[in-house]
């Protein structure tokens, strides 16, 4: 609860700073504030208390928010990602300097929504969280009103998102009808064998609504268009923060609702396998980097859904968290490079990256590391994340899932290497452009964190366990 309030206050402060003409201070102050909140969240996740022994009594807020280790760990990850995204936004919105406070404030409110989505203790909080996240993203996706592509992306995302929210809300209403409460602990304590059939229908509708949000096959068709059309920084937000948040809350919700439906897990598994295969196969023939990363994100949603085998084990939560952290950090690093290479070119085709290995070896190296981490090549945390996840699926005796997952990660190496080869084997056609310091800093920091969590997986997992 305290984290949620602190982040919301930071968002309001950055709106107020606009009134007092303190635009230059917005980004640094926000980043410092977020680092403080991050320290607080990590400390709370590790030791269970706060540094100053100052805590809000959550029962006074009708258990709207539950600060479980799972929720706190994911909140810390979201705050870290937002720090990177806010740092990037100062240079990205250079041409819209007067609007910088809006962009930063919307990102902070988006973070509020994401935190509410993983720490909710009540359906109302969950619904508000997912809507705050989505509405902020609609605004960000359409935030270049003169750009036809951004219009189209915003409109498509809005229609799909609102449609999915409607389905989700219908599911919540049916679950309320079956149980008579919105409180998650109460719902968990009910024996759901005796509940009316609306309960199962409601759970399925909620699952469909969330599958839309995480863009899993067959509900993925909006993702490539929206990712391609949105401004690049918004694409980075969607493919890291929003995807991980939706995935974490999907896991938490399915674990708490625990629908005893024959074939529910099988359906989830089929969706996971389809997402991996379809995402990776279609990504092979993309020439736009943002679109390629969109399909790669669909495939990664599939991998993350493998964690759903073990609905009630803390190991599954730890594995999901580790995978999410590895994927999101690699994604931020990749997008920081994409921003600095394609920043003012108006398109993100692969040929923009030709010869980057010679003109800017540092950025090329970082992008290579990020892509190798996503593909699951050792020493990067992406490999260990996949390893732990597949290991647990094997423990459950579901060999066939692991076979599909490994085959699709081999396919994925194909398109990641297409980009890497373009950087190192082709000649550059354009003159070198200066890269803003913020982009390089963020790229280096996130790829360094990615490698570090690959070296100490036990620390990252102990945040959740």
Partner 1 sequence: MENILQQVGIDNYIYLSTLLFCVGIFGVLYRRNAIVMFMSIEIMLNAVNLLLVAFSTYHQDAAGQVFVFFSMAVAAAEVAVGLAILVAVYRNHNGIDIDNLKKLKG
Give contact residues for partner 1 (rule: CB under 8 A). 123-124, 127-128, 131, 134-135, 138-139, 142, 145-146, 148-149, 151-156, 158-159, 162-163, 165-167, 169-170, 172-174, 176-177, 180-182, 198, 224-225, 228-229, 286, 288, 291
Length of the chain as a residue count: 465
| Burial 12-35, CB ≥16 within 10 A → b, else e | ebbbebbeeeebeebbebbbebbe
Q: Are 359 and 432 in contact (CB under 8 A)?
A: yes
Q: How far is the CB of 32 from partner 1 (least distance, A)?
A: 30
Q: How far is the CB of 149 from partner 1 (least distance, A)?
A: 6
- Nearer Cβ to partner 1, position 6 or 153? 153
- Nearer Cβ to partner 1, position 50 or 181? 181
- Nearer Cβ to partner 1, position 62 or 459? 62
- Nearer Cβ to partner 1, position 43 or 198? 198
Q: How far is the CB of 331 from partner 1 (least distance, A)?
A: 20
Q: How far is the CB of 222 from partner 1 (least distance, A)?
A: 10
The Cα 66–Cα 120 span in angstroms is 6
Q: How far is the CB of 280 from partner 1 (least distance, A)?
A: 15
Q: How far is the CB of 165 from partner 1 (least distance, A)?
A: 7
- Nearer Cβ to partner 1, position 130 or 324? 130
Helix (H, G, I), strand (E, B) or coil at 245: helix
Phi, psi torsion values for 343, nearest 5 degrees: -40, -55
Q: How far is the CB of 124 from partner 1 (least distance, A)?
A: 6
The Cα 103–Cα 89 span in angstroms is 8
- Nearer Cβ to partner 1, position 165 or 354? 165
The Cα 57–Cα 73 span in angstroms is 20
Query: For residues 354, 355, 357 and 362, what is the CA-based torsion angle, rounded to 10 degrees?
Result: -80
- Nearer Cβ to partner 1, position 138 or 387? 138
Q: How far is the CB of 424 from partner 1 (least distance, A)?
A: 25
The Cα 226–Cα 235 span in angstroms is 8
- CA distances for 303 relative to 51, 219, 243, 343, 392, angstroms: 36, 16, 13, 30, 12
- Nearer Cβ to partner 1, position 143 or 317? 143
The Cα 214–Cα 212 span in angstroms is 6
- Nearer Cβ to partner 1, position 292 or 324? 292
Q: Are 381 and 453 in contact (CB under 8 A)?
A: yes
Structure tokens belonging to residue 256? 């708490």
Q: How far is the CB of 182 from partner 1 (least distance, A)?
A: 6
Nearest to 290 by CA among 237, 338, 219: 338
The Cα 106–Cα 330 span in angstroms is 23
Q: How far is the CB of 111 from partner 1 (least distance, A)?
A: 17
Q: How far is the CB of 203 from partner 1 (least distance, A)?
A: 16
- Nearer Cβ to partner 1, position 232 or 443? 232
The Cα 422–Cα 348 span in angstroms is 13
- Per-position DSSP letters for 356-370, written without gaps between them: HHHH-HHHHHHHHHH
Q: Are 389 and 307 in contact (CB under 8 A)?
A: yes
- Nearer Cβ to partner 1, position 139 or 204? 139
Q: Are 137 and 161 in contact (CB under 8 A)?
A: yes
List of residues 6+ apart from 460 with CB closer than 8 A: 321, 322, 325, 453
């Amino acid at each position: 609860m305290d984290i949620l309030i602190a982040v919301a206050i930071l968002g309001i402060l950055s709106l107020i700073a606009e009134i007092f003409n303190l635009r230059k201070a917005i980004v640094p102050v926000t980043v410092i504030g977020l680092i403080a909140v991050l320290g607080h969240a990590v400390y709370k996740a590790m030791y269970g208390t706060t540094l100053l022994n100052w805590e809000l009594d959550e029962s006074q807020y009708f258990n709207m928010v539950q600060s479980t280790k799972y929720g706190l760990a994911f909140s810390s990850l979201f705050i870290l990602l937002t720090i990177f995204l806010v740092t990037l936004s100062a240079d990205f919105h250079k041409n819209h300097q007067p609007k910088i406070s809006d962009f930063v404030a919307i990102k902070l409110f988006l973070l509020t929504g994401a935190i509410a989505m993983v720490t909710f203790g009540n359906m109302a909080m969950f619904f508000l969280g997912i809507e705050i996240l989505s509405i902020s993203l609609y605004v960000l996706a359409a935030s270049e009103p003169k750009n036809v592509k951004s219009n189209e992306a915003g409109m498509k995302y809005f229609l799909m998102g609102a449609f999915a929210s409607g389905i989700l809300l219908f599911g919540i209403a049916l679950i309320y009808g079956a149980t008579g409460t919105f409180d998650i602990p109460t719902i968990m304590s009910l024996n759901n064998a005796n509940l009316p059939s609306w309960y199962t229908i409601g759970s399925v509708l909620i699952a469909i609504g969330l599958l839309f949000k995480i863009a899993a096959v067959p509900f993925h068709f909006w993702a490539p268009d929206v990712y391609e059309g949105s401004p690049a920084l918004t694409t980075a937000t969607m493919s890291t923060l929003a995807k991980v948040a939706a995935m974490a809350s999907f896991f938490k919700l399915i674990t708490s609702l625990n629908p005893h439906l024959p074939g529910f897990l099988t359906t989830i598994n089929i969706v996971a396998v389809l997402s991996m295969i379809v995402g990776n196969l279609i990504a092979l023939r993309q020439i736009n980097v943002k679109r390629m990363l969109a399909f790669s994100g669909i495939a990664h949603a599939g991998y993350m859904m493998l964690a759903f085998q073990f609905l009630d084990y803390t190991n599954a939560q730890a594995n999901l968290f580790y995978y999410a952290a590895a994927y999101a950090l690699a994604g931020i690093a990749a997008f920081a490079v994409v921003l600095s290479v394609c920043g003012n070119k108006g398109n993100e085709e692969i040929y923009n990256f030709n010869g980057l290995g010679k003109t800017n070896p540092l950025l090329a190296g970082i992008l290579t590391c990020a892509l190798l981490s996503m593909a699951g090549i050792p020493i990067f945390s992406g490999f260990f994340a996949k390893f732990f996840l597949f290991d647990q699926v094997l423990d459950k005796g579901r060999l066939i899932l692991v076979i599909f997952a490994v085959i699709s990660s081999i396919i994925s190496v194909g398109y990641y290497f297409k980009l890497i080869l373009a950087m190192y084997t082709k000649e550059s056609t354009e003159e070198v452009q200066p890269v803003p310091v913020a982009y390089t800093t963020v790229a280096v920091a996130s790829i360094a964190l990615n490698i570090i969590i690959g070296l100490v997986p036990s620390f990252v997992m102990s945040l959740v366990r």
